[in-house]
Amino acid sequence: MADAQSPQPIVEMRGIEKAFGAVQALRKVDLVLYPGEILGLVGDNSAGKSTLMKILTGAYQRDAGEIFVAGQPVQFKSPHESRDAGIEMIYQDFALCGNMDVGQNIFLGRWPLKGPFVDRRAMYAEADRVLKRLKVDVNSVYQKVESLSGGRQQSVAIARAISFEPRVVILDEPTANLSVMATERLLETMLELKRQGVAQIIISHRLVDIFAVGDRVMVLKRGEYVGDRYIRNTDEHEVLEIIVSGTSDTALTADEARTRRS
């Protein structure tokens, strides 16, 4: 349990297990995320990072374990249910419609209506508001998404997620295909979300990005929880050693992350 000085976790996953046939993808994995925290989720390609997040968002069903959101037990049967609980995931391919404009993408499938018709004025006004909230530099909400750079498309994907007013945003390899400048803009956007109290999980191989904005980093190895490190108490070299070796005598356990958080 968290101590009196720690807020209640916004997400807590306990003893999560998942198998795909004979392959055990996750073994008793714990994860704790606090409101407004940026958590880096790292490990090699078979560590189970994406599987764990897909279980959190309801895309996969866990075989064992418990999930709590704001202290309440949950069992998400689909991403729609996790979205209703305030959890959004932004995938590496952004899942945007290139032939539609920015405003249409932000409200794709849930356009505001005025009678039987789409209220375009309201849609574009709200899209503009969301982009300004994120301090995102997009020339126009009427611009076709396919004409945008990768960095700006990423910003539109984030804006769409934020338009649902989430409490948690999960980003899957968010800087993998971005330029240096676009990466810097994205990291600034993540810090802006943090200032607004949105908790975030970054699945990434780029430790430099996690260290630029993160509060804590969690390591998985072959489907098992290895441990946590607070960014302020570690460096990239130490985390890389944990990723490679899969062991760390002084890494925080999930219980310690709950009780020793300051």
Task: Single out the residue of 165, 12, 149 nearest to residue 94, CA to CA.
Answer: 149
Burial of 202 (0-12, 13-18, 19+ CB in 10 A): buried
Highest mean pLDDT among 41-55, 89-103, 244-258: 41-55
Average pLDDT, the chain: 89
Look up residue 222 and give its amino acid: R
Four-CA torsion 65, 69, 73, 76, nearest 10 degrees: -70
Say what the pLDDT of residue 249 is.
Answer: 55
- Which of 3.40.50.2300, 3.30.2320.20, 3.30.70.270, 3.40.50.300 is the CATH number of 1-86+168-179+198-261? 3.40.50.300
Give dist(CA 227, CA 247) in Å, integer: 8
- Tell me the mean pLDDT in the region 25-50: 95
Partners of 40 in the β-ladder: 202, 217
Tell me the CA distances in angstroms from 30 to 39, 89, 105, 201, 204, one per residue in order: 13, 19, 35, 14, 18
* CA angle 180–183–185, rounded 5-degree value: 115
Say what the pLDDT of residue 61 is.
Answer: 97
Residue 58 predicted with pLDDT over 50: yes
Domain regions of the chain by residue span: 1-86+168-179+198-261, 96-165
Helix 180-195 vs helix 150-162: angle between axes, to the nearest 10 degrees?
20
Residue 261 predicted with pLDDT over 60: no
Say what the pLDDT of residue 6 is.
Answer: 64
User: Which tens digit of pLDDT belongs to each residue from 130-179?
Assistant: 888 888 778 899 999 999 988 888 889 888 888 888 999 999 988 887 88
Q: Which of the four pLDDT bands, split at 50, 70 and 90, describes residue 80?
A: very high
Residue 2 predicted with pLDDT over 50: no
* Start-end of H helices in the chain: 49-56, 79-84, 102-106, 120-134, 150-162, 180-195, 207-213, 236-245, 254-259
* Residue 24 backbone dihedrals phi, psi, to 5 degrees: -90, 105
Q: How many percent of the chain have pLDDT more than 70?
A: 92
Residue 262 predicted with pLDDT over 70: no
Distance of CA 131 to the CA centre of its chain: 18
Q: Which residues 6+ apart lie within 8 Å of 184 measured at CB? A: none
Residue 250 predicted with pLDDT over 70: no
Cβ proximity of 42 and 20 under 8 Å = no
Q: Which of the four pLDDT bands, split at 50, 70 and 90, describes residue 5?
A: low
Say what the pLDDT of residue 251 is.
Answer: 46
